[in-house]
A and B are shown apart, each in its own frame.
Chain A
Amino acid sequence: MNTEQKLLEANNIDIRRGGARVLDVPQFGLRQQEIVCLVGPNGSGKSTLLLTLCCLLERHAGELYFKGCKVVDRSSVLAFRRSTATVFQEPLLFDTTVYDNVASGLKIRGLPGREIGLRVEQNLERFHIGHLARRAARKLSGGEAQRTSLARAFATRPEILFLDEPFSALDPPTRESLIDDLDHIFKETGIAVVMSSHDQAEALRLADTMAVMQQGRVVQMGPPADVMNFPADEFVASFVGMGTVLKGRVVQARQGTVSVSIADQLIECVGDGAVGQPVILCIRPENVTLALPVHHDGTSARNRFTGTVTRLIPMGHFFKVNLDCGFFLSTHITFQSRETLGLAEGMQVAVSFKATAVHMIVHS
């Protein structure tokens, strides 16, 4: 059992709206310096969980512990809020200067003027907005405004930072540069962070732990690479971009590999399973290789099929190819490869992927 004291711990969180349960999280923990990213589609409850964790939403049941102390009454809630900071999707700045905005959290705490000046300067520099100090907050661009909001949060020197979809309203280049800067600042300050996002790429960039949410529940929590490569169920698999998710049944099991029957075809994959057991197979598009039918033989891949291209979808730098191999399969292909193969919809191709490229989820 892990005896390390968590910085933040939540137990049996239960939120209802209009009688319906919108959040049901039996256990959630945040360690010192840990960066947790809550991901999930819209309405999955990630913002609700985040706002509950930072004590801004009333909960119907459940306890919250900050450094082992229960956050329960008005004074402990206030003390907790003053040890943490929250940044929302909209910057929510006050109608005053950038400088006064960054100072606002410190003025609320009644800090002496000298200390306020010092911390504001430090955080304006940290977020590269020193030159905007005297500018009216309502005249800032989206990126500048969000930097001001983040500087305001960091100025209070929080022990935990809560970020509710902080990059969603920004255009891609602005988002990129802000994520880059935040990544540095997180490492430099060693702050613990809980953020929510509907974009798993943000989680991969910043987080140590990724928590996938669906219908108010955390369905999988772990290091981002684990969640991406070994999704716990069908929902997580499709959410993290497993191009192909197939349902089948184990027909043969031997020496760490199993054969799974899917639509009268056999797919081999690594793993343990009992014969007759229903399973879900996940295959990342980048692990599927296409070739002209005559080249079928020169590969070590255990899974080789002949398929028909049903759709070719341009995705910017590459094409997404949907195939019918008796079952659905999806892969990515570059523009050059498409030209070399002369790929077109309706064409027959040889499809292969390794047994190790298939992630098997045993149906419970």
Chain B
Amino acid sequence: MDLIIQGIWQAIVLLCTFDPETWSITLLSLEVSGAATVASLFIGMSAGICLALADFRGKNLVVSLINTGMGLPPVVVGLFVTIFLWRNGPLGFLGMLYTPGAIILAQAVIATPIVAGITVAAIQNLPRNLRLQILALGATRFQMIFLLMREARLPLLAAVMAGFGGVISEVGASIMVGGNIKGYTRVLTTATVMETSKGNFDIAIALGIILLVLTFAVNYILTHIQQHDRPR
């Protein structure tokens, strides 16, 4: 019990004294996972909307594949991204392995199917004739997509939260492709793993609490946006 109380105390100290290392780790986590989420939104939402609006043979197969992708194990993603970025791998010439860029890439791969899967479900869940109604109102295709997204804003923002939540808390891929290099690729999760293995439970608990507070703060903001401007 002492251990936990000590850990919480240590966390407060680390945060209140603006410990430079803790802050740089926190900021890097936010930047990397934020960038990965933004990338996954562009790719995942575009793919999800296209898929939801398109009608083609084999659509169910593609949707099932994306839904399976929503549960991609981060270590498997880490493994394949490592292989691709390995010095003599297909993307080895980029020299990206063990850089923050590599973590962004791996995390984007993890988040994209989550965003795409929820987007497909969100758009398909709208009334079928709504698309026709929007076109009948004189909308261009672009306006139609915008209006559909606005109608599905609740589940779409849930997709953002799920994508961000998935990558900020992920450790396997970050450690494999980032290498947990101090001051360079060390993020909250990889630091927590390292401190725990070293027996520095107080620091590990502090990092864990920061991670939780960060995730809560981001989700709180997104939820606020989500519930905003709904008429009562």
Contact = CB atoms under 8 A, between A and B. Distances in A.
A78 B138 contact: yes
A148 interface: no
Contacts of A134: 231
Contacts of A54: 136
Interface residues of A, number: 27
B231 A104 contact: no
A86 B136 contact: yes
Contact of B138 (A88, A96, A108): A108
Given A95-B230, A134-B231, A156 B132 contact: no
A97 B130 CA distance: 17
A94 B136 contact: no
Interface stretch (B18-26, B139-147, B202-210, B211-219): B139-147
B130 A92 contact: yes
A71 interface: no
B125 interface: no
A109 interface: yes
Contacts of B150: 94
A56 B138 CA distance: 11
B127 interface: yes
B138 A109 contact: yes
A95 B147 CA distance: 10
A21 interface: no
A108 B143 contact: yes
A78 B138 CA distance: 6
A134 B232 CA distance: 9
Nearest to B129: A88
A94 B144 CA distance: 12
A104 B134 CA distance: 9
A136 B151 contact: no
Chain A, interface SS category: mixed
Given A134-B231, A136-B231, A92 B129 contact: yes
Contact of B129 (A85, A90, A109, A162): A90
B138 A81 contact: yes
Given A108-B143, A136-B230, A136-B232, A51 B132 contact: yes
A147 interface: no
B135 interface: yes
Interface string A101-144: 00011001100000000000000000000000011110000000
A162 B232 CA distance: 31
A56 B136 contact: yes
A219 B92 CA distance: 70
A284 to B, nearest CB: 37
A152 interface: yes
B133 interface: yes
B137 A104 contact: yes
A291 B172 CA distance: 92
A82 interface: yes
Interface string A144-165: 0000000010001000001000
A105 B231 contact: no
A207 to B, nearest CB: 21
Contact of B135 (A56, A94, A96, A152): A56
19 contacts: A56-B135, A78-B138, A81-B135, A81-B136, A86-B133, A86-B136, A88-B132, A90-B129, A92-B127, A92-B129, A92-B133, A94-B147, A95-B151, A96-B229, A97-B231, A104-B137, A134-B231, A135-B231, A136-B232
Interface of A: 51, 54, 56, 78, 81-82, 84-86, 88, 90, 92, 94-97, 104-105, 108-109, 134-137, 152, 156, 162
Nearest 6 A/B pairs, CB to CB: A86-B136, A136-B231, A82-B138, A92-B133, A105-B137, A97-B231
Interface of B: 127, 129-130, 132-133, 135-140, 143, 147, 150-151, 229-232
